[in-house]
Structure 1
Amino acid sequence: MRKLLIAFLAIPFVSCNDSKQKTAYFGGEIINPRDSIVVLYKDDEPVDTAILNSQNRFLFKIRLSDKGGDLFKFRHFPEHQHVFIQGGDSVLARVNTLNFDESLVFSGKGAEKNNFLIEMFLLDEDEQELIFSYYTLKPEVFSRKIDSLRAMKMEQYEYLIVNQRLSDAARNIARASIDYPNYKSREFYPYMHKRLTNIPRENLLDIPEGFFDFRKNVNYNDEALSFYKPYFDFMVTHFNSLAYVKCVKECRKHQIGAEKSVHYYIHKLELIDRKVKEKGLKDYLFRNTAYTYYFEDQDDTNNLLFLEKFKVLDKSNKYRDEVETLYTNIRNLSQGSEVPRLELLDAGSKQTDLVQVCQDSNTVIYFWTFYQKGHSKYINKYVLALEQEYPKVNFVGICLNEDYDEWMQTISFQGLRREHQYLSLNQENISRGLTINSLNKVIVIDNHNHIINAFTYINSPELHRILRSL
């Protein structure tokens, strides 16, 4: 298989010998494909799409902005991963969708740096349980523990840069894959330490001098890293930490539960605005803050206050229309509002809508997708138990895929009741219109088609309280 793949890609690579060119190739093979395409992204924008051939292989010819290289993301729905491409590279990826990240391996010219990046990604995932156990430790001990983990990765980094010719841009990405997960754990420490040791959350920890010295090395305006997950995740956690400290110090009367309050999120916007000048990163951080806030607080007065502050601080935000739509959708799902008339398909292939589905009965709407088989089995089994506990409630499952045949196969395989299952005709419209931020979200509707609660979850005690009151 490997020889066949190389043969498939060999001809275009012949033209890549001139290292001065800004041209590169990225291709590969998808084992057990779930879609017919692979989409290539630069930042958060799709830049090219490749259709899988009969052997499930794909190829992109890439024109780089700089021969030093650019960071891309390739997506084969529903999974994605980063790839860094330098001028003259001819990188091959081989991945099995049944175990996407763990099976991903790169070969060809430019493979070593990308294998390093995926290895750092997997190490970071594997370390999370261990780092969680460190959060109960004193800050000095915690620092030594996570710095020991970082030192082992730095040995691999030093080996990489000695044995591979990497551009400055590639070194920057490789170093960031080590530094920013470490920094994120440090930022998260005060919150987690208080939570796990039962220290009141409104109390500020006595952190020793030097614990946050890494902040002196943080580049708030690294355009090349703006959409790199370890860097962006750190930025989110970092500004959470800064905003919380500011909120506790300056808003004493609101300090309990500060991290869920509108003034906390406004502090966060102000801090991002003050420290981040790189347009792409700032806009995306503002967007992330808006989504996080709106799913925490559904008070319309507070929501409008947040939106107005958002627009004042960043008048030309790329995601402004999207955030305004989110605000409107949240408002439309407030308690007492009528359920939106979103189009669905029933198991008999007949078109219907959400209003008809919920007609004249107290209804719980839940969501699943056949791409996440473990979750779909779990939630449908959980709903079966709820149906027995609350027999007068209508439980309706909406599959967020759009493939009717595969949906019907999944219904049959899992033994689901067809009359209670519906398929989205437009996944994006359903997700936006019902603001689905989690597959565990449920929406409770009364027998007059009015929303009781659109922001609770399938395993939440709040759901049981609502159902008992119906």
Structure 2
Amino acid sequence: MFAYFKNLLLPISSVVLCGLCSCNKEFKDDNYTAYFGGEIINPNNRYVLLLKDNKVIDSLLLDDKNRFFKKIDSLAPGMYTFRHEPEYQYVYFDKNDSIMLRLNTKEFDNSLVFCGRGDQKNNYLIEMFLKNEADRSYDVFDKDYKRFSKTIDSSYAAKKSFYLRRKTEIGWNEKFDVFAKASLDLDYLAKKEIYPIAHKRRNGEDICKVLPKNYYAFRNKIDYNNEDLTTYVDFVRYITAMLNNIAYKNCTTEKEYEQSALASNIKKLNITDTLIKNQKIKNGVLNNIAFMYLLEDQNMANNKKFLDRYFQLSTDKSKHNEIRKISSAAQLLTPGSKLPPQKFINKRNEKIDFNSIAKGKGETIVFFWTLSSKSHLEGVHKKAHDLKIKYPDLNFVGINMDDSLEDWQQTLASYNFNDTTELHATDMQKLKDEWVITKIHRVLLLNPDGTVKNAFVSLFDADFEKYLK
């Protein structure tokens, strides 16, 4: 009852507002008015974005009390996401719902609570999300088959009991149940897909030999063509796990995984084409495969073969140019190449020659940060500090990704980043495009001569230090 207990902690102002939003007003059949509002504690910026299928449909400004409220004249029932950079969560609207939320960015998911008309089903979603997150450990994949099955079956049974109880208490409709059931079942089934390949990579044992013949029977019961689930994270995560499991099932070593990257990813494209008939869902899965592959393999000949097949299958013209752009930029970041030149300034407003910073007696780690993610800002600098103690010859460069030079300088003044060289790009879009910065957690690892050693790694990878050898 985590989320429901949190309701008791809402301040009086929020309780009053929730009360206003939960009144039993009658609406005509053709009236699709909805209300959406809330309060953001410790906001990262001044906006909350409302999205449908990853497309922004409204931008909501926070007032001087960090609250927002919007009457939406016509909002179709369904699943939406709200985003307060860099975090996001789901919010489901039935017809004429009036939903308020409250959260603290320092504990975004754990602090999120909904109230108002439509609050109960949304509080259910965040509770199930937190249960799934708490249950996400790679240690379970080290177990033998019997212990693995017992562990995940026990967890699934407990969550299914919770699902059935809340479904009865709330009485949600079938449209919402598609998402409620997906968050229950697909998280569990994704573990079953991940298990064989993760067990082999972690333990060196091919567990497939002892799996029951009907182990994958559940695949036949999944609806791969429900358009409502196209961008829903539990569906996307399951599809990704299933395709990886099928494509890489014959690989036993890291070298084999690398050597089979092209063939395996083309296989993923072909499986997607055969398995998924709904073109919108198919395009979404094909796009995910393409984005992930192009950031892993910078072999030009391989990329051409992959893209030829991708363009044959994808009808999403809006993504084709973006895919081509990423592919071309990634080609310039292959091991041994020089980074495309960028213009930077340091905290003293001096123009900096990046090559002079990147060359030294040790390797250089370039990481990125933004004021919109304070937890990452502090976490990545702490990680750099810890690694600097362990590897004194490492050279760390932190590049701020915000537009405001003044905000960046004020932030640096409030921290003591002695282990890093801090820079700010003068052309942020050029930097993002040419260095293919698609996510803030990525780092660039450079050789002592300033050339690329590995352009697509994360400082928070459990095995990151192996790249330093």
Aligned-residue offset at 1:34: 1.0
Instruction: Please state whether the residue corresponding to 1:220 is helix, strand or coil.
Output: coil
Deviation at 1:87, TM superposition (A): 0.5
After superposition, give the CA deviation of every residue in 1:120-160 in whole Å (9 maximum; x if it has no partner): 1100111123xx44434443443343222222222222222
How far apart are the structure 1 equivalents of 2:152 and 2:48?
Answer: 36
Indicate whether 1:279 and 2:288 are aligned: no
Quote the sequence identity (%): 26
Residue 137 of structure 2 corresponds to residue 135 of structure 1? no
TM-score when normalising by structure 1: 0.85
Shift of 1:450: 5.2
Aligned-residue offset at 1:83: 0.8
Say whether the 8 Å CA contact 1:16–1:89 is kept in structure 2. Answer: no
Structure 1 pair 220–406 and aligned structure 2 pair: CA distance change class (3 A): same
Residue 80 of structure 1 aligns with which residue? 88
SS of 1:53's partner is: coil
> Displacement, 1:89?
1.0
For 1:155, give the aligned amino acid: S
Displacement after TM superposition at 1:41 (Å): 0.8
| Residue in 2 that maps onto 1:48 | 58
Match of 2:197 in 1: 191
Question: Shift of the alpha carbon at 1:29?
Answer: 0.6
1:414–1:113 distance in 2 versus 1, CA, 3 Å: same
What are the Cα deviations for residues 300-330 of structure 1, in whole angstroms up to 9, with x where unaligned?
A: 2112211111111214354211111110111
Of the two structures, which has the highest relative contact order with CA contacts closer than 8 Å and spacing of 6 or more? 2
1:88-237 to structure 2, matched below 5 A, reads 88-129=96-137, 132-199=138-205, 204-237=208-241
Distance apart, 1:275 and its partner CA:
1.1
Q: Secondary structure at the match of 1:256?
A: helix
Which residue does 2:67 correspond to in 1? 57
Q: Which amino acid aligns with 1:18?
A: F
Q: Quote how far apart the aligned CAs of 1:106 are.
A: 0.8
Q: How does 1:342-353 map to 2 (within 5 A)?
A: 342-350=342-350
Asked if structure 2 preserves the Cα contact closer than 8 Å seen for 1:342 and 1:354, the reply is yes
Counterpart in the other structure of 2:303: 303
Q: Alpha-carbon deviation of 1:47?
A: 0.7
Letter in 1 for 2:297: D
CA–CA distance in 1 between the matches of 2:105 and 2:466? 36
Unmatched runs of 5 consecutive residues or more in structure 1 = 466-470
SS at match of 2:136: helix
Note the C-alpha offset of 1:60.
3.2
Quick check: 1:79–1:100 contact (8 Å CA) kept in 2? yes
- Conserved? CA contact 1:74–1:80, under 8 Å: yes
Taking the aligned partners of 1:77 and 1:155, their CA distance within structure 2 comes to 34
Report the Cα distance in structure 2 between the residues aligned to 1:419 and 1:235, rounded to whole angstroms.
Answer: 39
2:49 maps to 39
Amino acid at match of 1:271: I
Q: In the superposition, relative to structure 1, how do residues 462 and 155 fare at CA in structure 2: closer, same or farther (>3 Å)?
A: closer
1:375-454 alignment runs, 5 A limit: 375-382=379-386, 384-385=388-389, 388-389=392-393, 395-417=396-418, 420-425=421-426, 427-436=428-437, 437=439, 439=441, 441-444=443-446, 451=452, 453-454=454-455
Cα shift at 1:339: 2.6
* SS of residue paired to 2:209: coil
Cα pair distance change 1:165/1:427, threshold 3 Å: farther
The one-letter code sitting in structure 1 at the alignment partner of 2:165 is Y
Aligned equivalents of 2:42, 2:14: Cα separation in 1: 16
Paired letter, 1:333: L
Tell me the CA shift for residue 26 of structure 1: 1.7
Question: Match for residue 4 of structure 2?
Answer: none
CA distance, structure 1, for counterparts of residue 385 and residue 361 of structure 2 = 22
Looking at structure 1, the residues matched to 378 and 403 of structure 2 have their Cα atoms a distance apart, in angstroms, of 19
Residue 190 of structure 1 deviates from its aligned partner by 0.8
Secondary structure at 1:121's aligned position in 2?
helix
Q: Quick one: structure 1 residues 64 and 206, their matched pair in 2 at CA, closer, same or farther if it must change by over 3 Å?
A: farther
Q: Is residue 25–residue 91 contact of structure 1 (8 Å, CA) maintained in 2?
A: yes
The CA deviation string for residues 218-259 of structure 1, in whole angstroms up to 9 with x for no partner, is 1111111111111111111011112234x66xxx9x993268
Tell me, what secondary structure is at the counterpart of 1:389?
A: coil
Aligned residues: 451
